[in-house]
């Protein structure tokens, strides 16, 4: 009773080699089932059930549509010749056989689009139309036969005959079609493996035992044992077991009904027609109950399987994630921690279950963690923090926590928090080193005395550090080379003191135009300046360069507080992704070449080289 696709008859039997045996087997099954139904009830007496139509319906559901016409024809021929053999007239045999085909055609109509590999009557969406049509189709075919019968069975009334046809054919459809479908399914075949076969046969034999004991009317109460037994068999063997056990239970009851013996020996059952109708109704109730149980069990098993797969899928994601996944209640106690905690912090997850997650947080960072939990409880859906958490070795690791609150659908209150924690120690340490590198350059007085910017030594040292940090992150770095236009003429005309004031003014303007803490400006030499822009592409570098050029061009140099001398600069830009194979010197050379391009272009402009 699983959702595994049923093998089709084509997959079981390759067309080139076994088509003959398929058609021969189908013909024999049609003939044997129809013969037994007619023979057990005697010539020209209605059958307790007619399994041939259920057999045809089951084969149709398992076969591709290109075989349907041949199966209908084969069923018609076997039914026709058997009715003729049992002394029905040629006209009567045709009417009965055509009625059977009409019945199966009506029953298969709502199921015609089912893929043969997915035919499974334990699924509600297939079982409901199957049961409905199994009860509706015999009503239509029975009306057709009665309308054209001309009194086939003069010993019974048309009403009794119609009722017997309707119930008997309905039972045949309800019993045989599931048996045929389930016979080729893996879960059914599993019950007939060598190790399971004795247990399966014992259960099926046990199913018919109470009915074998109904040898006198006084033992009728034993009949009520059929229902709990049927429930037990359905639980153990599924829909196949339900249909098979119902058939086995019916065998001794049919014998008693035909001989007016056993439970049918009472005077109330003196009429054979009455006995068979009661038996049909009883068997119908059994089948409907068994199918309802089987469908419910299948649905429960499908839900369990879906739940198992869902849990397995999410457990696989959680257990194999490099990040640490935590599930906490509203108070911050851990209810689940993924195994990656041991890789990140050295602690075993089971040691921290039901403990407060802040147990591992650095004392200085606990206010941050508490504030985060307060915000999540207060209504904030998501929070992100970077805090230090204790490693088993006694040290601390920087962890980035991305948390999300899960709220109760009815009250809206936070019932749990799901967090993903990632070790970002390397990145945080690199950022600290980057900041420290800039600070180190300043602390060592690697500055130009005249402008207050970094000097060439500081520039080269900082460039090396920033380049290595960019290599770690795989990011781009840009460099600006800035040169004062016509500075020699300015110096010769206005003197060295004015030249120095001009350089100081340029340094202040450049420093004002770079705003990020990691950006670095230096006096490269003489009237030439350089700017390092880590984590910047050429577009960002060009924007900053234009800001510097515009600011200087619109400021000028104030001499002795009396007049302003216009000043301009030319800027060369180069930027590349930092790699171990490249040298930052390549960027300097490229930016310097771009600077000369700007000079040749008329000065007071910007040029870029990659």
Whole-number Å distance between alpha carbons of 573 and 543: 11
Quote the crossing angle between the two packed helices 90-108 and 158-183, to the nearest 10°: 50
Whole-number Å distance between alpha carbons of 503 and 453: 11
Catalytic residue among 527, 528, 542, 581: 527
Contact 245, 229 (CB under 8 A): yes
Contact 169, 282 (CB under 8 A): no
Alpha carbon 406 to its chain centroid, in Å, reads 21
572: left (phi over 0), alpha (psi -120 to 50) or beta: beta
603: left (phi over 0), alpha (psi -120 to 50) or beta: left
Please report which helix (H) or strand (E) contains residue 563, including its range. Answer: strand 563-565
- Is the Cα dihedral 308, 313, 317, 320 positive or negative? positive
Please report which helix (H) or strand (E) contains residue 341, including its range. Answer: helix 340-345
Q: How many CA atoms lie within 13 A of 29 on its CB side?
A: 19
Helix and strand element counts for the chain (H, E): 20, 12
Beta bridge partners of 382: 404
Rounded to 5, what percent of the chain is helix, strand, coil? 65, 15, 20
Whole-number Å distance between alpha carbons of 416 and 569: 60
First to last CA, the chain: 67
Query: How is residue 485 written in tokens?
Result: 């236009």
Q: How many CA atoms lie within 13 A of 123 on its CB side?
A: 14
Active site residue 527: yes
Q: Which residue stretches of 474-495 are H helix?
A: 487-494
Contact 249, 209 (CB under 8 A): no
Active site residues: 527
């Amino acid at each position: 009773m699983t959702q595994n696709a049923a093998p089709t008859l084509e997959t079981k039997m390759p067309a080139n080699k076994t088509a003959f045996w398929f058609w021969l087997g189908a013909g024999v099954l049609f003939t044997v089932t129809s013969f037994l139904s007619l023979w057990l009830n005697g010539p020209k007496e209605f059958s307790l059930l007619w399994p041939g139509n259920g057999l045809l319906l089951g084969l149709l559901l398992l076969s591709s549509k290109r075989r349907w016409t041949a199966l209908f024809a084969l069923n018609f021929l076997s039914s026709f010749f058997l009715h003729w053999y049992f002394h029905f007239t040629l006209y009567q045999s045709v009417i009965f056989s055509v009625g059977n085909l009409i019945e199966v055609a009506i029953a298969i109509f709502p199921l015609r689009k089912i893929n043969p590999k997915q035919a499974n009557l334990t699924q509600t969406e297939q079982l409901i139309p199957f049961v409905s049509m199994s009860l509706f189709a015999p009503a239509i075919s029975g009306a057709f036969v009665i309308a054209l019968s001309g009194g086939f069975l003069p010993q019974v009334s048309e009403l009794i005959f119609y009722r017997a046809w309707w119930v008997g054919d309905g039972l045949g459809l309800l019993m045989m079609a599931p048996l045929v479908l389930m016979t080729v399914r893996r879960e059914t075949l599993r019950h007939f493996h060598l190790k399971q076969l004795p247990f399966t046969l014992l259960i099926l034999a046990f199913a018919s035992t109470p009915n074998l004991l109904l040898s006198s009317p006084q033992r009728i109460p034993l009949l009520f044992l059929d229902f709990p037994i049927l429930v037990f068999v359905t639980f153990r063997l599924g829909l196949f077991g339900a249909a098979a056990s119902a058939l086995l239970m019916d065998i001794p009851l049919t014998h008693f009904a035909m001989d007016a013996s056993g439970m049918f020996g009472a005077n109330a059952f003196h009429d054979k027609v009455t006995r068979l109708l009661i038996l049909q109704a009883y068997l119908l109730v059994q089948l409907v109950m068994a199918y309802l149980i089987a469908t419910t069990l299948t649905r429960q098993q499908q839900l369990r399987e879906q739940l198992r797969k869902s849990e397995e899928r999410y457990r696989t994601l959680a257990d194999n994630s490099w990040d640490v996944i935590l599930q906490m209640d509203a108070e911050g106690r851990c209810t689940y921690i993924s195994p990656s905690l041991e890789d990140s912090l050295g602690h075993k997850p089971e040691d921290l279950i039901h403990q407060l997650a802040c147990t591992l947080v650095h004392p200085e960072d606990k206010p941050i963690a508490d504030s985060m939990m307060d915000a999540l409880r207060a209504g904030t859906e998501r929070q992100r923090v970077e805090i230090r958490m204790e490693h088993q070795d006694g040290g601390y690791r920087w962890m980035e926590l991305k948390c999300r609150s899960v709220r109760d659908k009815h009250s809206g209150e936070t019932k749990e928090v799901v967090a993903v924690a990632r070790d970002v120690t390397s990145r945080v340490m690199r950022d600290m080193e980057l900041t420290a590198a800039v600070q180190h350059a300043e602390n060592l007085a690697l500055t130009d005395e005249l402008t207050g910017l970094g000097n060439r030594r500081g520039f080269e040292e900082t460039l090396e550090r920033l380049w290595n940090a960019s290599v770690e992150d795989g990011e781009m770095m840009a460099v600006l080379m800035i040169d004062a236009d016509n500075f020699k003429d300015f110096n010769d005309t206005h003197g060295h003191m004015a030249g120095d004031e001009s350089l100081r003014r340029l340094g202040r303007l450049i420093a004002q135009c770079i705003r990020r803490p990691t950006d670095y400006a230096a006096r490269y030499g003489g009237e030439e300046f350089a700017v390092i822009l880590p984590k910047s592409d050429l577009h960002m570098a060009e924007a900053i360069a234009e800001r510097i050029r515009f600011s200087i061009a619109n400021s000028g140099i104030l001499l002795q507080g009396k007049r302003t001398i216009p000043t301009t600069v030319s800027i060369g830009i180069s930027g590349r992704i930092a790699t171990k194979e490249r040298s930052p010197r390549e960027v300097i050379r490229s930016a310097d070449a771009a600077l000369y391009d700007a000079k040749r272009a008329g000065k007071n402009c910007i040029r870029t080289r990659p």
